[in-house]
Structure 1
C-alpha cells in the first residue's frame, strides 16, 4: 500500500509540474521549444547568431522566448519591442548577465560593457565620466573635432602609401585616435604598427571572441570554471582565458603607465585619463583601477566598431560606383576644384548625401548586430506575456535594420532612402534612424555614439574627396567581384580586394601636406 501511495503522489507531482509548465509556456512569448534543459543551445550557430534569431522572428513574431541551457532568453526583433522594454523600462532591463568567459575569466567585467547596473555605483561613475568627456556636448569641443580631423588625415596618408592593406588601416587609425583621446599618446605613423596600438588590437580581438554567444562552453555550463586547467587538453578554455586576461592587463597598464610617467615629467598632454587623475588630485589605488577600466572601455566601444563601418563603406563604394560619383560631386561643389583643403566638420551641414551614406553604412552592416545582452532584474509583464526575473534579453539590431517595412529592399545599399526629393535630409523617426538603433538601447546605449558618428563621417567624407574606390582586376584585366558577407560578433566584411587610387596628383599632394602639418 505504501508503494502504491508513493506512486500516486509521484504521478500527481508530475501532473502538477506538467500543468504549471504548460501554464508558464502559454504565458510566455512564442518561440522554439528546444530540448529539455538544453533548450535551443544546439540550434545557435558559432557565428552570425543574429541570422538564426531573425529566422525565429519571422516565424514567431518580434518577441521570441526560448531557453538556453535552462536560462530563460528573450529575443527582440523589432524597434517597438526593444524600445518598450529596454528604453521605457530601462530601470529593470539594464543589468548584464554574468559573462563567465569574457567578464569573469578574461576580466572585461571590470569595465563598462559588462558592469552590472544601473544601481551599481561603479556603473554610474563610468557613465558620468563618459558623458562628461565624450557626451554630445563634449563631442562638439573644437579640440576633439580637430583631433578627429587630424587623425583622419593620417589615415588618408596610410591609404595613399599602402592601398593594398586598406583593411588594416582603419583599425590602426582608430586605435591611434583613442590612444590620443584616452591617454594623450601620439602613435607612430612612419615606423610600422605602433606597439601600443598593437597591444590594443590584440586585446580587442580577445574581447570580440570571448563575447560571442555560445563560443565557449563555460558560458552555458558555468560549473566548468572550477575544473582545473591541467585536466583540459592543452589547457582548454582556461588557457585561452589566461592569455586573453594577460593581454587585457597589458591594455590596462601600459598606456596608463605612460600617462603617469608623463605627469611626473610635467609633459602630460590633455586626455581622458589625465582629467580624471587631476580631478582626484591624490588618486587612491581604487581610483586608478577605475580609470584604467574606464579608458579601456573606450576601446571596447570604438576600436573595432568604427573600422567595421569604414571597411563596409569601402565595400559599398565598390558595389555602387554611382553613389560614389554623386558623393564626389557634392564634395566638389562644397570644397571647390582647387584641392586647397580637406573636408572639415564645418562642412557637415552642406553635405546631406555624405550624411545619408553614413546612415546607410550603419544600417547595411551594423557593427554589433546583437549588442551585448541585457538581464531583467524583476518579473515583468509585456503584451500579456509573463517575463520572469533573470531573463537574458537580446536586441537583434540586425533584424530591426533589415525590416522591409521600414527599409524597402533592405539588402540594397541605398543612401537615397534618407533624403527628400530635393536632396535634403529627412527628419527621421527613431525607428528609422540607424544612428539610434545601431548604438543600443536604454541605459546601456553606447556612450561614445557621438564620437563614433563624427569619426565615421569625417573619415567617409575625406576618403571620398581624395580617392576613387573601385574593383580590383585579375591578371586578365577582369573585375574581381567581392563577396558580400559579414562575420564576427563585431561584424566585419570578409576580406576582399579593391583598388584605391587618389583622384588626381593634386589630391595626393593635398593628403601628404595635410598629414605633414599634424
Structure 2
C-alpha cells in the first residue's frame, strides 16, 4: 500500500525526535566543557546567530573560558578561543582533528566537497594529493619564484591604474585584480584588458558567492536536519534545494570553463605554464579521475584567495582613512627607502627594508581577519582534554577573531596599531606562533591554508604600491564635511560594508609614475 504524505510526515517527525532524544541523552551523560545552556533536545541551535557568529562565540568565550561546549540538535560542538588550545588540539593532535564535518549544503548539495576545503581528512588520497600539488606550486619556496613574484607585481601595478581612473570603484577593482592574478597562476589565463568585467572572473565570483553563503554555520536548516535533502524540490520550504542547484551549476562552470581553456591551449601549443597545465603534463594521459581532481584543486586554489585577499585590501583602505598618522608614517618609511624621485614602484626586494609597512600587513590580519571563524574541524575518535571527554564526531570551531583580539597578547585590540609588532628600535619583532596573525589568520594543523605564502605576498605588494603613490582620506559630502565610515563587517568571508573614501595621487610625479610604469 502506498504511503500518504501525512504518513511520511509523521514518520519523519518521529525519526527526528528519536534521533534528537538519543543524542541528547548520550551527550548529557558525559562531562562537557562549560557553555550556554540550551533547550531540551534542540540544544543551542536558536542561540547561534545567522550572521557574524564569531562575535557571539567571542562573547561566550569571555563568559565560559577558552573551550566552550555546545550541542546543536544532539551534535557535540566546541568553540576554541585561544591560540594555546588551538595549538594543543588542532596542531599537536592534528591527526585526530583534521577531518571535516559532513556539510550537506556547501558540500553535498552545492558540490564543494570535491575540493580541498571540504574534502575528508588527511588519510584520504584526494586530500594528500591536493596538499602535494599546492605545496609544489604555491608552497613557501615556489611562492618566492621570480616568475610568480613578477606576476604579482604586475597585477598590483594594474590595480593602481584602475584606481587612478575610477577611484570610487576600489572594492570592485581589488576583487577583479586579485581574481586576475590567481586565474593566471591556476590556469595561465590572462584577463582581458580594457574590459569592465572579464567573463571568467564573473564565473568565479558567482561561484564564490555561493561558497561563502553555504559555508555560514546555521545558514541552512538542512545542515542540521540532513533528512531534509530527500524532500522534493516542489515541497514548501524546499527553496534551499533550488538555491543549491544554482550553486552547483555555478561551481560546475568554475570547474569546466577554465579547465577547457587550458586543454585547448595545450592542444594548440599556446599554453602558458600554470598549476593546471603542470599537473596535466605530469600525468601525460590523465584519467577522468585525474581531470576531476585537478579541476577541484584549481578551483580550491582560487577559492582560497579570490575573496579573502580583497577583504584584506579593502580593510587596508578603511584603516588608512581612519588612521592618517599610520599612513603618513608608512609613506615616510617608503620615501626614505625609494626616495621622492618617483623613478620606480616598490618591489618585493624592498620588503626587508620596510618594517613598518610589514607591521601594517600583520595588523590588518589581526584587526579584522578575512575568515574570522575558519572552517570547522571534526574529531575522528574520542579524545580527552583537560580531564573532559571530547567524543568522536565532535565539531570544532577555532574562533580566530577571539585569538587575534586577546587583550593579554594584543593590548587595546580594537585599535589599529602596527607598532605592536615592532621592537624599541623600530625593527620587526620575532613573533611566537600565538602572537603571529600571519599564521593564526590562515588556520591550524593540517588544514592550514596552503596558499598562505602566495596570499601574503599579494597583500604586501598591493599595499606597499598603494601607499607609495596614493593618498587615502575620508570622502566629503556636498557641503564639504568629512564622511565618517563605519567599521562593520559581514559574511563568512568577512568584508567591510561598503564605504566612501577619496583616493588620489600623492603628487603629479606619482601620477606620472603610475601611468609610465603601468600603462606605457
Shorter chain as denominator, the TM-score bin is over 0.9
Distance in 2, Cα, partners of 1:466 & 1:193: 25
Distance in 1, Cα, partners of 2:180 & 2:25: 59
1:24-423 alignment to 2 at 5 Å? 24=30, 27-232=31-236, 236-423=239-426
State the Cα distance separating 1:514 from its structure 2 match: 1.9
TM-score under structure 1 length normalisation: 0.95
Query: Is this contact kept in 1: 2:103–2:223, CA < 8 A?
Result: yes
Distance in 2, Cα, partners of 1:23 & 1:178: 49
Distance in 2, Cα, partners of 1:18 & 1:247: 38
State the Cα distance separating 1:18 from its structure 2 match: 11
Query: Is this contact kept in 1: 2:359–2:419, CA < 8 A?
Result: yes
State the Cα distance separating 1:285 from its structure 2 match: 1.0
Paired residues, what number?
Answer: 499
Q: 1:441 aligns with which of 439, 444, 468?
A: 444
Distance in 1, Cα, partners of 2:316 & 2:188: 29
SS state at 1:360 partner: helix
SS state at 2:483 partner: coil
SS state at 1:349 partner: helix
State the Cα distance separating 1:510 from its structure 2 match: 1.3
State the Cα distance separating 1:295 from its structure 2 match: 0.2
State the Cα distance separating 1:22 from its structure 2 match: 5.6
State the Cα distance separating 1:37 from its structure 2 match: 2.0
Q: Aligned in 2, Cα 1:21/1:512: closer, same or farther, shift over 3 Å? A: closer
Structure 2 unaligned spans of 5+: 1-22
Query: Is this contact kept in 1: 2:362–2:438, CA < 8 A?
Result: yes
SS state at 2:471 partner: strand
Query: Is this contact kept in 1: 2:256–2:295, CA < 8 A?
Result: yes
Distance in 2, Cα, partners of 1:148 & 1:345: 10
Query: Is this contact kept in 1: 2:66–2:81, CA < 8 A?
Result: yes
TM-score under structure 2 length normalisation: 0.94
SS state at 2:234 partner: helix
1:10 aligned residue: none
Distance in 1, Cα, partners of 2:467 & 2:262: 36
1:7 aligned residue: none
State the Cα distance separating 1:230 from its structure 2 match: 1.0
Per-residue CA deviation, residues 185-212 of structure 1 (Å, 9 max, x unaligned), is 0002311111101111111011000000
Structure 1 unaligned spans of 5+: 1-16
State the Cα distance separating 1:33 from its structure 2 match: 2.1
State the Cα distance separating 1:516 from its structure 2 match: 2.7
1:488 aligned residue: 491
State the Cα distance separating 1:112 from its structure 2 match: 0.1
Query: Is this contact kept in 1: 2:469–2:506, CA < 8 A?
Result: yes
Q: What CA RMSD, in Å, does the superposition of the two structures yield over aligned residues?
A: 1.4
Q: Aligned in 2, Cα 1:477/1:291: closer, same or farther, shift over 3 Å? A: same
State the Cα distance separating 1:232 from its structure 2 match: 2.9
Distance in 1, Cα, partners of 2:25 & 2:222: 32
Query: Is this contact kept in 1: 2:24–2:41, CA < 8 A?
Result: no
Per-residue CA deviation, residues 388-418 of structure 1 (Å, 9 max, x unaligned), is 0000000000000010010000000000100
Q: Aligned in 2, Cα 1:515/1:384: closer, same or farther, shift over 3 Å? A: same
Distance in 2, Cα, partners of 1:20 & 1:190: 61
Distance in 2, Cα, partners of 1:325 & 1:473: 20
Per-residue CA deviation, residues 290-323 of structure 1 (Å, 9 max, x unaligned), is 1000000011110000000000000000000000
Q: Aligned in 2, Cα 1:207/1:21: closer, same or farther, shift over 3 Å? A: closer
SS state at 1:301 partner: helix
